Structures are given as C-alpha cells and as structure tokens.
Amino acid sequence: MSDRAAQLRGIRAWLVFFVVCLVLSGATAFPLVHELRWTEDVLRHLPAPDALTDWITRVRRGLDTADSDYPFLLYGTDWLAFAHLVIAVAFYGPYRDPVRNIWVVEFGMIACAGIVPLALICGPIRGIPFWWTVIDMAFGVFGVLPLYVVRRRIKRLEALTPHHPTPNTSAALTT
C-alpha cells in the first residue's frame, strides 16, 4: 500500500469514528425523557456519587414536567439532535476529498473549541453544576482530538499529492 493510500485510509477511519460519535451524540437527544428515567434507575443500583444521582433526579423531574406540561420545550432538543445529524453529513466532503474539504475539519475543530466558552458562560446562567459543565466541555476536548489527527493526516496527504495548477479564470473572462 502506498503512503498516499495509507494516509487516505487513516483519514477515512478517523472520520468514520468521529461521525459515528457525532450521530450517537445527536441521536441520544431525541429520547431524553426515557434516557433520564433509565439513567436514574441504573444509578440507584450503583455506588454513584450523591451529587450525580441528585442532579440526574432533578433533571429527570424537570424533563418529566416539561414533557407532561410543556412538551414543546423538548422540541429544542429535537433540533439539537437534528443539528448533530446534519453536521455529521458535512463530513462526507472530507471523506470523499480530504485535501479539498479540509475546511470542514477545521470548522469542526472551531466548533469543538466553541463548546468550552459556551459551557462556561451558559452553564452558570442555567444553574448547571460546575462539575457537569466540565463534562460538557470534555465533549469539545475529546471531539477535537480525532479532528486534529485528521487535519494532520490531510496535511501529510496534501504534501504527497501532486499539485495541479488551477485555471486562471480572470484570463478567461477578459478574452
């Protein structure tokens, strides 16, 4: 296998891993009410920290109330899930042509970095415990890692790819 083929294969493997994680993260936003009930039941049978169990119970109660009295509020999490799925589709571009679509990977890295200030600003405003905010920020940190690897591999692939000069469109327009 050539070095170019090996780079492309590695890029695609990392992208598939990232997309699967993104899709799973998004898909779990649809059944939140049921997930929180299940999580609360599981935590009751584990030696979980009281702070975690209390927080999950509080969130589950809030979701139950929203679900029964204000179900339209949960529509926001449906859009959150949809956004994850749409963003995942965007990564087909770098899968197909990594060098040309490196900007999608860089956009993903910027989005992951944006999770940290969002969590630090909105977490306290919404009454989220700091330790949970740290968990939220971890999604950005762990999300950027595979994208960083992909970007480095794309740069290596680019160095291995012969450059084809782009046509001079301004010359074509003047004739």
pTM of the complete model = 0.85
Three-state SS at 39? helix
Report the half-sphere exposure of 33 (CA within 13 A, side-chain side): 13
Q: What's the rounded Cα separation, in Å, for the pair 121 and 126?
A: 9
Q: What is the pLDDT of residues 85-133, one digit of tens each?
A: 999 999 999 999 999 999 999 999 999 999 999 999 999 999 999 999 9
- pLDDT mean across residues, the chain: 92
Q: Could you give the maximum distance between any two Cα atoms of the chain, in Å?
A: 77
Is a pLDDT exceeding 70 seen at residue 169?
no
Q: How far apart are the first and last CA of the chain?
A: 46
Distance CA 159, CA 161 (A): 6
For residue 167, is pLDDT > 80?
Answer: no
For residue 166, pLDDT over 60 is answered with no
pLDDT at 172 over 90: no
The structure tokens 């992208």 sit at 15
Identify the band that residue 84 occupies on the pLDDT scale cut at 50, 70 and 90. very high
Q: Which residues, including other chains, have CB under 8 Å from residue 57's CB and lie 6 or more apart? A: 40
Higher-confidence residue of 169 and 52: namely 52
pLDDT in tens, 32-43: 999 999 999 999
Sign for the pseudo-dihedral over CA of 59, 65, 67, 73? negative
Work out the pLDDT band at 171, boundaries 50, 70, 90: low
